[in-house]
Copies of this chain bind each other. A is one copy, B any other.
């Protein structure tokens, strides 16, 4: 069960001389999925998160499997699933598919940190509540 998803068209700028998506561009798409979810799903746009709340959510680890190449013009359906929320961490799973064919899947851990010091700080209550609600609803 996915908690959020975006559609991302494979553009010219994503592709390499082999005519397929250059894999570092997939990480920009992953970041875009997380950014969109924070804004639309959790109601905390990145501009608010970074500039008003002085927080950041750097990625601590990310493990990715690339299962099939994506080509110019493919429409990727990128789904995001929350696996677990910790004190200041968040485990996500992100999977992209096109035409029922999985292109990549990633598991990542984000950490909520103070924007100035970079030190972990507990998730604020509003964000924690929204995420816990998501997790309860998908039991």
Contacts and interface: CB of A to CB of B under 8 A. Distances in A.
A128 to B, nearest CB: 22
Given A59-B66, A66-B58, A66-B61, A13 B22 contact: yes
Contacts of A24: 13, 24-25, 27-28, 30-31
Nearest to A60: B66
Question: On chain A, which size bracket covers the interface?
Answer: 35 or more
Interface of A: 11-13, 15-20, 22-25, 27-28, 30-32, 35, 39, 45-47, 50-51, 56, 58-66, 69, 71-73, 115, 118
A50 B11 contact: no
B31 A12 contact: yes
Contact of A12 (B16, B61, B66, B118): B16
A59 B23 contact: yes
Contacts of A22: 12-13, 31
A45 B73 contact: yes
